[in-house]
Structure 1
């Protein structure tokens, strides 16, 4: 591994941005593994929503999901933890894609990555509900337009699709990390950022300040910060400081799991085990850490990049449109047959969105938004957030 001193000067001053690497120059193929993990996380969320979520959506199947999937429902009930894996990967990838870039280029890359698929999903979901509910979507024009900005939550407007809630968490992470980016990314500065952010996230819930808690994001920060730290370990090699911060993030994560598990139990109408949830999260830490420190050769496959490209559209499109499909078709076919047709259909739709919406729009937006000196076209380094599941 390369030591931090080999890449950062003694005074830790940032180096000028290097030329963009070729599109497929991921170090040791590690991003291929992360792409595969992103798809696993997305499918966990899909399983949670379709096979375990038993709140106001239970009428989609006509009966509680525990009756529809008596064996699988207890397993799918932990699918909400896929969002924690999303946040871990997001921290890793955002730090990687931001390194050596200006704030303007970083902001442009995020807009290019997020908005095309998101705009399509807002319009597609609205259209699906319009046609399946005889024009009664329950959406006002103002609500639709506000959702198109992706800023509906801070503006006090409800999400058109519950799954959009994590996008606001991602945007807050981007804004905080952009501050470090503006200062110039170095090993010490990013390490200090993670330490300070974890400290504030631990203290914020006890301060009684809603704004501070919103910025600190106690439930998400341990995972974002852990991903960033793992990228530092990947780029510079593990050090006592990075191990210490990674351990601190895990300790804060296990504390934050308590209210998350309690909330998830209300969504699945069943008991969920805190030890099992912690074991799953710990496994996520170990898997991403393993990818960061040494690429498993079995996972070094280029096709995983294609699989990962389906993740963001799948996440955005699966929930309300999928529930509408279940509501309309569950009396016409067996549950597993319906799922066996619905999930591949959503994956196919996700590929179509990536191929014919995201990629062409990204080229246009790249020419408009990127500085001339920094235009490299959409890069495979620009992995999106992950994005996430409905709040349990």
Structure 2
């Protein structure tokens, strides 16, 4: 791989202020932590306290709320990937995305493959085609499942990266035919996989953010808080799988609109979200968010089994789940920290060092 080139300027019609958005970075961390929270609450409801009606009644909206944050990940990607797709060549853009996503994904996919081969807990995922579709992110097209828990969303991410990268290239090079092809492919992807609407929401927010639409509004902090609370309530009302007919449900459309509205406020650098999530804990969670997202199922599930074996889940459901949650969260953060260093930071450092190494022109001479 050649050395990655400096980024290009974005088109004039796509304003971009540059720099890291602390609100967005912290929101990544909160999203990963909330997915973990959802698995702690929802997993114990399904596997431990399934006969506790009171616990089930309270845990269901919490589960709904936590799992919804996966779609917030999609909106964040729409916001941050669009400028990246325009700033880099397709090759450099693809290289950066693969270095960001694939090493960690591959490690935990291989762990799943090895574990499932030994235990045969999910025999339908032991066949070679399913494994290859998963490892190449083509499982959506093949109608098969991803392997490692939570990785289903990564297939959506990779599909979006491909469309965004090629779309940006087609626009900058003024290739009308390719523009039309990518437009049709994007529409088809959106229709067949409507979860991808949240990528579009992120893109629209980026465009409006660059035009400083929100900055002109009065009482922005109050409007942001109202939008956030409204979204939290709407997201807790249902579990969104976007199955056939679900898009006709009012709560689904309301949740989409509120996500767009809240995100439009949250991305401002002086937003309430940015001020709260500029704290070190939130920025740290943002840094390890990808590792936390993929690692925590491998902590949560064995920890739950240990708690069950030791009878730590008592009749006091909420106290038991609280203790279980604290232990699981601490172990997940520790594992995510190690994972980030080994499988995110270190591979990128290796590639960077390799790409910038001096090249030998002739014996005894370095360029």
Contact 1:161 1:320 in 2 (8 A): no
Q: Give structure 1 stretches of 5+ with no counterpart.
A: 1-5, 19-24, 202-211, 240-253, 267-273, 373-392
Q: 1:47 aligns with which of 34, 37, 60?
A: 37
CA deviation after TM superposition for structure 1 residue 168, in Å: 1.6
CA deviation after TM superposition for structure 1 residue 89, in Å: 0.6
CA deviation after TM superposition for structure 1 residue 34, in Å: 0.6
Q: Point out the structure with max Rg over C-alpha.
A: 2
1:304-346: CA deviation from partner (whole Å, max 9, x where unpaired): 4432122111222223652343134235323221111012211
1:286 pairs with 2:286: no
Counterpart of 1:298? 275
Within 5 A, what are the aligned runs for 1:229-308? 229-238=204-213, 261=238, 281-296=256-271, 298-299=275-276, 301=278, 303=280, 304-308=282-286
1:256-282: CA deviation from partner (whole Å, max 9, x where unpaired): x99x9476599xxxxxxx766666554
Counterpart of 2:305? 327
Counterpart of 1:169? 156
Counterpart-to-counterpart distance in 2, 1:153 and 1:265: 14
Q: SS of 1:118's equivalent?
A: helix
Counterpart of 2:106? 119
Counterpart of 1:336? 322
Counterpart of 1:316? 294
Contact 1:310 1:350 in 2 (8 A): yes
CA deviation after TM superposition for structure 1 residue 7, in Å: 7.6
Contact 1:32 1:299 in 2 (8 A): no
1:40-62: CA deviation from partner (whole Å, max 9, x where unpaired): 222232233331258xx93x326
CA deviation after TM superposition for structure 1 residue 124, in Å: 3.5
1:184-235: CA deviation from partner (whole Å, max 9, x where unpaired): 459xx9xx99xx679x75xxxxxxxxxx3x4645523331112112212233
CA deviation after TM superposition for structure 1 residue 355, in Å: 1.4
Deviates more, 1:320-329 or 1:275-284: 275-284
1:346 pairs with 2:336: no
Counterpart-to-counterpart distance in 1, 2:61 and 2:85: 39
CA deviation after TM superposition for structure 1 residue 26, in Å: 4.7
CA deviation after TM superposition for structure 1 residue 118, in Å: 0.7
Counterpart-to-counterpart distance in 2, 1:64 and 1:300: 38
Deviates more, 1:72-81 or 1:109-118: 72-81
Counterpart-to-counterpart distance in 2, 1:153 and 1:52: 25
TM-score by length of 1: 0.63
Counterpart of 2:71? 84
Counterpart-to-counterpart distance in 1, 2:327 and 2:172: 46
CA 1:319–1:282: 2 relative to 1, 3 Å: farther
Counterpart of 2:28? 38
CA 1:339–1:65: 2 relative to 1, 3 Å: farther
CA deviation after TM superposition for structure 1 residue 301, in Å: 2.6
- Greater relative CO (CA pairs within 8 A, separation 6+): 1
CA deviation after TM superposition for structure 1 residue 183, in Å: 2.5
Within 5 A, what are the aligned runs for 1:168-247? 168-185=155-172, 201=187, 212=188, 214=189, 216-238=191-213
CA 1:340–1:65: 2 relative to 1, 3 Å: farther
CA deviation after TM superposition for structure 1 residue 288, in Å: 2.0
C-alpha RMSD of the superposition: 4.3
